[in-house]
Structures are given as C-alpha cells and as structure tokens.
Amino acid sequence: MRVAITGSTGLIGSALTHSLLTDGHQVVRLVRDRSARPAGDSSEAAGWDPVAGRVQPGALDTVDAVVHLAGAGVGDKRWSDAYKAEIRRSRALGTRTIARACAEASTPPRVLVSASATGYYGDTGGRTIEESAPPGDDFLAAVCVDWEAAADTAREAGIRVVHPRTGLVVSAKGGAFGRLFPLFRLGLGGRLGSGDQYWPFISLTDHIAALRFAIDDETLTGPVNFTAPEPLTNREITRAMGRALHRPTIASVPAFALRAALGEFATGITGSCRAVPAALHKAGFTFRHPTIDMALHSVLHTS
C-alpha cells in the first residue's frame, strides 16, 4: 500500500510510519517542513499547510489511504481562550483541508482515517459507552463534533471515513502516560482527583494495529472507539502501575489542586468515560493487550 500520514512525527504517527515501512509499504508524510523526515527513514515527504488549506499538488493522487493525526496537543499548554481556539481551529481546518484534498485527488484514496477522541462523549460517569452514544456538552466534546464533521467533504465524495475515538495511549514515550511513568518510577504516583473516574486506555501496539485494521477492513466506517475492552478507574490504573513498577501509590492529587494547576484541562483528567470498543469487536479485531497489566508489561519490556 501507499499511505499518506499527517502528524507523522508524533507518538502515534511515528509508530504507525515505522510499522508500515517495516512491512514494506510506502509512506508519504504530509509535513509543513519538508526537512522533517527522520534520518534513515525511507518515507517520502510532501508539503501541506492546514491553515491556508493547501496540500502539495498531486500528493494524494496515488495513495491508497490517508491517516490524519495532526492537531494542536490538548494537554500541551494551559487552556487560555487563545489556546482553546487554536485546539479547535487546528483540528477543524486541518481535517477540512485533508478531506477536500482527498475528494479532489485524481484517484481518491479508498479510505480516510481521521482522528478523534473519546472526549466526544464528555463526562459519562460509570455508564458503558459505545459509538452510538451522543456527544457531551463540554469543550472537548464540541471540538470532537467539529473535528469529525470537518471530514464531510470526503464522505460526500464516496470515500470511506473512519474516526478513531482514541482513549489514553499507554506508552512511556508520550501522551498522558508518558508524563505519569517518571512520577511512578520515583514513587510519587497516585490517584488523580477522586480516582473513581473511568479512564479508557489502549496500548500503543494495539492502537497501531487498530489503525492498520481500519485501513484494511472495509466494514469499518464512522466512529470507532480505540479503547481496550475493559476500561478501568483511575484508582485501578494507579494500583496497576504501582504493581508493574514495584512502587508505592499512596500519593494523591485532589481535584481542586488539579484545577489550580491545569485550569479547565483538569476536567479531562477528573472526568469519567467508560468507553468500550464495540465497533472493533464487531469487526473481529483482536487485542494483543486487552488488560492494563498486559499494556503496562508491553511498555516495560519494549522501552
């Protein structure tokens, strides 16, 4: 296959690129800086500008699939009004640009896998959430609604569009878990907020496998929860990390302290989402790391 990827230097994008190249596929990185290709990487680079709405002419004419992962990091900065606008704008404009380029390609790709997040559902407490659940009413939910709708141009052109609604990716290399591992290794790990909130998680290995499954499986379309089969509470994940790292987990950070330190972003940490991968199960996807213990074991033995 020939696959174009945005966000190819991020945690998920770099792992997906490596996986595809290792298996002999061709990768076209859509980048704003064409010198960004890592040394020794056999991928190609093509330019794009999500804000200006431009993709290098011909870049998508010969690709079989497009995986769109780019967007301003939700947890990268404190949520000022300006940064919230940047989060929303980067996702909507970038997705609209990619969707239009897919639709206008001389030979359109057969699938667009365009990222989303379990933040779509908002805080749902302890209810089990499948892909048919309605959106929440907070900022992240509104971002996800706009994010997914921005791919409509590709859908209207007859391109199969898949929206991975991703939970927390278990990896020591980045994301929320990437920040937690150093603290737990120092014995400073503990529950966040009440600890009773559900955290939908997925190992990095399973996330990459699910992305490739979404590219290949023509029955998958629309939203797909990229989460392990059994979401756990923050308290349960905290205990599992303590077991895996042989460290105490007696520390805790109360919700008010999280709000003081992180502002509105704290709602994404203390909110609860018990999302399950109903669409992946129906399509026959098999998880290599269905439990948090297996996901953590995979990190500790590959890092």
Render pLDDT for 244-292 as a digit per residue (tens, 0 to 9).
999 999 989 998 888 887 778 888 889 999 999 999 999 999 999 999 9
Which of 152, 142, 147 lies closest to 164 in space, CA to CA?
A: 147
Rg (CA), the chain: 19
Alpha-carbon distance 136 to 78, whole Å?
21
Assign 124 to helix, strand or coil.
coil
pLDDT reported for residue 73: 85
Instruction: Read off the tokens for 40.
Output: 């020794």
**pLDDT surpassing 80 at residue 156:** yes
* Alpha carbon distance 29, 9 (integer Å): 9
pLDDT at site 36:
53
